[in-house]
Amino acid sequence: MKLTEIQADALGELGNIGAAHAATTLSQMLMSDIEMDVPSVDIIDIAQFYQCVGDEKVALVVFRIDGGVEGEGFVVMMMPLPSAMRMTNTMLGMDDMDREINEMDQSAIIEIGNIMVSAFLDATATLLGIVMLPSPPALCIDMAHAGMEALIAEVAMETNDVVIFRTNLTCGQHAIDGTILMFLTPEMLGNLLSLLEALTSQGM
């Protein structure tokens, strides 16, 4: 499976709009500026996945994409553990970094992920003129690669390629780094691409 340059650009732009909305919500919650890098869209062979995501300990909040597009897809908010802790500290007005992640942190991480990913999906769906909703969130605090294996197993059941969209968000003031990732089956990718093509042909 290969994307044409136009398809990769269109998908990148779609993700860009989504991520920008997600970044805005994070910026409001932290009351700080958020920088966003240029999103990448890659088709990766499952065997190479360990080269994209390692086994460092992170917080992952995972959402299945529900709604108007056929196929399977997931959106993930990933944050290195120290960043996640600085984020909840900032929000809850604490500064203790020398502690274990507690229930309050977990609720805050899930809630922030929920707000960001809802904004991400809402912005992309609105652009496409469809409805895409996040499923209830699931949290995992463990190795990044380990957390994502179950998602890969879902989207790569019948293929060895996964479509991965990713963009990094950074809050310099509080030293918080996060990544938004989207995993799609070829089916959902195809459907999103035809919606995008329909938009472009209307002279977007």
Closest approach, Cβ 45 to other proteins, in A, equals 8
Q: Tell me if 91 contacts other proteins by CB under 8 A.
A: no
163 phi and psi angles, rounded to 5 deg = -90, 120
Q: Tell me if 99 contacts other proteins by CB under 8 A.
A: no
Closest approach, Cβ 53 to other proteins, in A, equals 7
Pick from 38, 131, 153, 198: which binds other proteins (CB under 8 A)?
Answer: 153
Q: Tell me if 149 contacts other proteins by CB under 8 A.
A: yes
Distance from C-alpha of 121 to C-alpha of 15, rounded to nearest angstrom? 9
Alpha helices (H) in the chain, listed in sequence order: 5-30, 49-52, 81-92, 103-128, 144-155, 186-201
Closest approach, Cβ 133 to other proteins, in A, equals 18
Q: Which is nearer to other proteins, 152 or 180 (CB)?
A: 152
CA atoms within 13 A of residue 16's CA, in its CB half-sphere: 10
How are beta strands 40-45 and 73-80 bridged, if at all? unpaired
Letter for the amino acid at 49?
Answer: F
Q: Tell me if 48 contacts other proteins by CB under 8 A.
A: yes
Of residues 60 through 89, those in contact with other proteins by CB under 8 A are: 62
What is residue 22's three-state secondary structure?
Answer: helix
Q: Tell me if 101 contacts other proteins by CB under 8 A.
A: no
Distance from C-alpha of 28 to C-alpha of 31, rounded to nearest angstrom? 5
Q: Tell me if 148 contacts other proteins by CB under 8 A.
A: yes
Closest approach, Cβ 43 to other proteins, in A, equals 15
Residue 13: beta bridge partners? none
Q: Tell me if 57 contacts other proteins by CB under 8 A.
A: yes
Residue 178: beta bridge partners? 169
Q: Tell me if 152 contacts other proteins by CB under 8 A.
A: yes
Closest approach, Cβ 12 to other proteins, in A, equals 25
Pick from 11, 53, 128, 181: which binds other proteins (CB under 8 A)?
Answer: 53
